[in-house]
């Protein structure tokens, strides 16, 4: 996906408040190819110059990074007291239709707020997802929470591609109420794409039970999705859905008068801190997740994202004079993506930033050396 020079793509480290009145920003990880890599052509940290990279680690892979560096695998996770990952218990129905989801997931604690879902993670602070239930048999599916796009989809049980085989899938064998149309469905993301057809079925989540919702049933997906544990995406972006003439899930909630307020509140936990309090609240916010008062900012009108003006960014209290910029709030990625020249100014201000052979700037402050940074938005 190409972004214009002015908008920035921002992650959501703490809390998002988005008006539901009103593509596609999920950004699959694209590993750097390297002929000298240990396996799979991936560039491991050991292959980089001798930099102070203690504490950094690769992003999510489709296996548990439990082996040591000496065994030619991933670097060990930082020493911390974290709960062992658990796997989603899958309901077996009518034969061997549902595939085995091999991914390990770090579960969040149960939520206490009404109309809320716990948001679990992959253990790398990279992708965040919740359990939702589909069809007459209420099949549990891992859904990535994506405020960067409005499209919702699942992997079809008729998909025979490798990325589909390692995820849980959904089809007519899983639900007596599933209705399949001949309307094409396709979405292109940052480095991947999915396509299939629109289907209609019930969705239950967070105390809601929506009987007739249209969503994509994916028959073709790129290999980037082999690196992610989710079985689909819940589109929480600003509607309407990309190329789809059907109400989004959030529009269904609003039209049904099911929301206390037209807002959603999202808290994303840092696994590196041992936190397990990730959650999304539909129609309200959890005041225990923040200190002080909430400030509201008007979104940029007539755009397809949750986009807001950015007044400036500060490093150690010093402004970088970023005027005339917009930022897109996106839970589909933990990256902060900005134009090259802006990124260079930001990393130069950090002082301890270094440059990798791939040209990507990495702030070593992300490892052990910290710098105070803040964003400024119009009140």
Catalytic residue ranges: 146, 330
121 token code pair? 């993670």
Q: Which residues contact 71 (CB under 8 A, 6 or more apart)?
A: none
Cα–Cα dist 323/73, whole Å? 44
Cα–Cα dist 67/228, whole Å? 19
> Quick check: helix, strand or coil at residue 84?
coil
- How many CA atoms does the CB half-sphere of 46 hold within 13 Å? 14
Q: Which residue is associated with the tokens 């699942």?
A: 154
Which DSSP string corresponds to 266-300? EE---GGGT----EEEESS--GGG-SS-----PPP
Cα–Cα dist 20/13, whole Å? 20
- How many CA atoms does the CB half-sphere of 11 hold within 13 Å? 16
- How many CA atoms does the CB half-sphere of 235 hold within 13 Å? 30
> Quick check: helix, strand or coil at residue 154?
strand
């Amino acid at each position: 996906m190409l972004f214009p020079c002015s908008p920035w793509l921002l992650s959501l480290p703490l809390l998002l408040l988005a008006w539901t009145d009103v593509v596609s920003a999920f950004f699959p990880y694209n590993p750097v190819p390297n002929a000298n890599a240990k396996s799979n052509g991936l560039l491991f940290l050991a292959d980089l110059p001798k930099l102070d990279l203690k504490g950094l680690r690769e992003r999510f892979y489709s296996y548990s990074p439990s082996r040591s560096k000496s065994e030619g695998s991933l670097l060990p996770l930082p020493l911390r007291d974290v709960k062992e990952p658990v796997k989603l218990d899958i309901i077996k129905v009518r034969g061997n239709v549902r595939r085995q989801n091999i991914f390990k997931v770090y579960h969040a604690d149960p939520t206490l707020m009404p109309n809320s879902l716990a948001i679990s993670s992959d253990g790398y602070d990279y992708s965040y997802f919740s359990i939702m239930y589909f069809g007459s048999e209420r099949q549990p599916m891992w859904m990535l929470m994506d405020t960067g796009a409005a499209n919702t989809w699942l992997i079809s049980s008729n998909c025979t591609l490798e990325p589909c085989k390692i995820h849980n899938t959904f089809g007519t064998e899983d639900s007596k109420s599933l209705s399949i149309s001949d309307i094409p469905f396709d979405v292109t993301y940052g480095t991947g794409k999915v396509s299939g057809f629109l289907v209609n079925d019930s969705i239950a989540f967070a105390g809601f039970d929506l009987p007739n919702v249209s969503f994509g049933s994916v028959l073709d997906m790129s290999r980037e999705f082999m690196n992610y544990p989710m079985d689909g995406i819940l589109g929480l972006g600003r509607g309407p859905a990309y190329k789809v003439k059907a109400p989004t899930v959030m529009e269904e909630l609003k039209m049904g008068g099911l929301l206390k307020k037209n807002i959603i509140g999202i808290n994303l936990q840092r696994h590196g801190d041992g936190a397990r309090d990730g959650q999304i609240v539909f129609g309200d916010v959890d005041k225990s997740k923040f200190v002080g008062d909430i400030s509201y900012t008007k979104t940029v009108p007539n755009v397809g994202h949750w986009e807001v003006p950015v007044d400036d960014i500060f490093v150690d209290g010093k402004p970088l004079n970023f005027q005339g910029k917009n930022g897109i709030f996106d839970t589909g990625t933990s990256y902060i993506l900005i134009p090259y020249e802006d990124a260079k100014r930001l990393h130069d201000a950090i002082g301890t930033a270094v440059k990798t052979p791939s040209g990507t700037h990495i702030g070593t402050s992300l490892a052990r050396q910290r710098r105070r940074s803040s964003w400024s938005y119009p009140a």
